Structure 1
Amino acid sequence: MFLVLQQSKIIVIAGPTASGKTALSIALAKELSAEILSFDSRQFFREIPIGTAAPTLDEMDGIPHHFVGNKSISQNYSAGMFAEEARIWMRDYFSKNDNLVVVGGSGMYLSALLYGFDDIPPISSEVRVSVQNDLNENGMAWLQSEVQRFDPDWFANSDTQNQRRLSRVLEVVRETGKPMSFFQSKNQEVLTIPVVKYGIMWDPRELLYQRINRRVDAMMELGLLDEVKRAFAYRTHQALQTVGYRELFEYLDGQCSLEAAVEKIKQNTRRYAKRQYTWFRNQEKDLQWLSPGVVPKI
């Protein structure tokens, strides 16, 4: 159990790449005298700051950032590992501080941090489809009833209005024949700190895509190709299986021109941003969406 100061609060800033999360998080951190914890799965790795758009020291503007550049690309780092390390760090942080700004675009890592990450077997696509079809046909009340019937322990101690979480519990039951509560860690700390969640929404979306294109051009000018060359020996590692690196590895392998690789980075980054939007809209339904440049009053 977290022991926190009475007024403690976590402020989440989420959204797609290039949407303005860094600027907003720093503005809020200044206003709240808070520090920043990143849940960006690409910015953990210290050797690749350009392609991951990690905040520079100038951009940080004196605000302490945590879980940025804290790992090497030679290391594997999962959402579960991040959640465990971040929660240990947060326990110490909240013994001395009121507020924390949590920022990033990696939805699975945010979910692991806020809700825990359990050692659950993989769920087959057939089971996922069956649960979704039954939900579409029978509705939310049916889903709640099914979860309460099959996993009363989980139902009694969890958010019973969170459709994503409820569906996940039923998927686990159908896949394994065991309740979600069977797999949950008995040592998982309960995150009792109030959480306020904001997302940044660009409308029309084309404006964000233009920002992405300009950002990729700026990355190339800052030396992204040299960064990729330095990391070439680690190309098969998890950290480099991502947009901005795969495409330039293809160029270095002689599979395409540099111009084509850059255009592919832009295209794949736009697609990545679209997937991020979709994830946050579907999985974090209590996000309060802000227009770019708006700083909410906390």
Structure 2
Amino acid sequence: MSERILALMGPTASGKSSLAERLAERFDGELISVDSVLVYRGLSIGAAKPDYPHHLVHLRDPVDPYTAADFARDAKRCMKEIIARGRRPILVGGSMLYFRALIHGLDDIPSIDPAIRTAIENEAREVGWPALHRELAQVDPASAAQLHPNHSQRICRALEVYRGTGVPLSSWQLGEAISQADQFECIALCTEPRAALHRRIECRLDGMFAEGLIDEVRALMARGDCHSDLPAIRAVGYRQVWAYLQGEVDLPTCREKALVATRQLAKRQLTWLRSWPDLTWMNTDDAGRLIQVDKTAIEPVKTDENNEIAAVEPVWADRIESLMRNF
């Protein structure tokens, strides 16, 4: 598979889906979702499930695990099938680990003794996940730098890989040949100033509550086999509503916690993106209007020496036009 493939990345609520849908309609494309929540059936409202058709949506039951390696395998299959149909694959989403697994590769990690994970979880109950995050920073600083001190699932995974293999998880994830990465044209959308992104996040979250997020989580809880430690239930929004339904917080607190968690998610996504090699930044306007993919200006964002967003310089959309036409 030698064709160049467009990958649209960005923080939550940045307008990725709208741009991707416009591109798919104009250039006979098919969208592949890069979202670690949308892969689970029954998670629609809180995952902002788009109406436009996407591949790799609602693949698994919430109790069944789905890994970045699973995604990379499924996405490669989808891309080949789309190309075989004479159409253009367009990747769109905000799950940066999924993008990394697909574009840069994940080496095969040996099976880890389950007893190691059990031991780590027991330690966490005694000393807390922030303490284990500090331990991880000593043995695998690259992985620790990408994780919040309370991101229990991924801290546990990184520690179990190190303890089980003696090799940091970040070293296992160094990736495949650069030739694979060269297949992808990676574009990141951002909304500046940051307050504009926060407004978009708040508006979307309130829309989710209005559309029935609480009832959606209630239905998952009523199944009887879902619990708060599942990756699907730990997703932003779902975790906070689950706590509300269990009587741990009142509704205003639930909403506020979900809002804060979503903003933190966007911050982590931007941190990932700022470290991504060969990335083109494009700015969405803070009014939330759809970017026009014709001779309307699209704005790539410049960064300063500290890799902070410094200025925006308008250019034409010829780069996307050329990419999509030269299939």
Q: Give me the TM-score of the superposition, normalised by structure 1.
A: 0.72
Instruction: Specify whether residues 65 and 184 from structure 1 end up closer, same or farther in structure 2 by C-alpha distance, changes over 3 A only.
Output: closer
Which of residues 268, 273, 278 in structure 2 aligns to 1:286? 278
Match of residue 52 from structure 1: 47
Q: Compute the displacement of 1:103 (Å).
A: 0.3
CA distance in 2, matches of 1:253, 1:100: 42
Confirm whether residue 126 of structure 1 aligns to residue 148 of structure 2.
Answer: no
User: Could you give the per-residue CA deviations for residues 257-281 of structure 1, whole angstroms, max 9, x where no partner exists?
Assistant: 1111011111110111111111111
Confirm whether residue 248 of structure 1 aligns to residue 260 of structure 2.
Answer: no
Match of residue 155 from structure 2: none
Confirm whether residue 66 of structure 1 aligns to residue 59 of structure 2.
Answer: no
Match of residue 139 from structure 1: none
Count of matched residue positions in the alignment of Structure 1 and Structure 2: 240
- The answer to which of 244-253 and 288-297 deviates more is 288-297
Instruction: Specify whether residues 130 and 9 from structure 1 end up closer, same or farther in structure 2 by C-alpha distance, changes over 3 A only.
Output: closer
Confirm whether residue 79 of structure 1 aligns to residue 68 of structure 2.
Answer: yes
Match of residue 41 from structure 1: 36
Whose relative contact order is higher, 1 or 2, with alpha carbons under 8 Å and at least 6 apart? 1
Which of residues 77, 82, 86 in structure 2 aligns to 1:93? 82
User: Could you give the per-residue CA deviations for residues 233-282 of structure 1, whole angstroms, max 9, x where no partner exists?
Assistant: 31332211111111111111211111110111111101111111111111
Instruction: Specify whether residues 222 and 13 from structure 1 end up closer, same or farther in structure 2 by C-alpha distance, changes over 3 A only.
Output: same
Confirm whether residue 105 of structure 1 aligns to residue 97 of structure 2.
Answer: no
Letter in 1 for 2:271: T
Q: Give me the TM-score of the superposition, normalised by structure 2.
A: 0.66
Which of residues 254, 265, 274 in structure 1 aligns to 2:267? 274
Match of residue 31 from structure 1: 26
Instruction: Specify whether residues 127 and 192 from structure 1 end up closer, same or farther in structure 2 by C-alpha distance, changes over 3 A only.
Output: closer
> SS where residue 84 of structure 2 aligns?
coil
Which of residues 105, 110, 113 in structure 2 aligns to 1:116? 105
Which of residues 181, 185, 191 in structure 2 aligns to 1:202? 191
User: Could you give the per-residue CA deviations for residues 30-63 of structure 1, whole angstroms, max 9, x where no partner exists?
Assistant: 222110001111111120100000102xxx1xxx
> SS where residue 94 of structure 1 aligns?
helix
Instruction: Specify whether residues 42 and 110 from structure 1 end up closer, same or farther in structure 2 by C-alpha distance, changes over 3 A only.
Output: same
> SS where residue 103 of structure 1 aligns?
strand
Q: Compute the displacement of 1:66 (Å).
A: 0.3
CA distance in 2, matches of 1:219, 1:198: 27
| Contact 1:127-1:175 within 8 A present in 2 as well | no
Identity of aligned residues (%): 34
Alignment RMSD, CA only?
A: 3.0
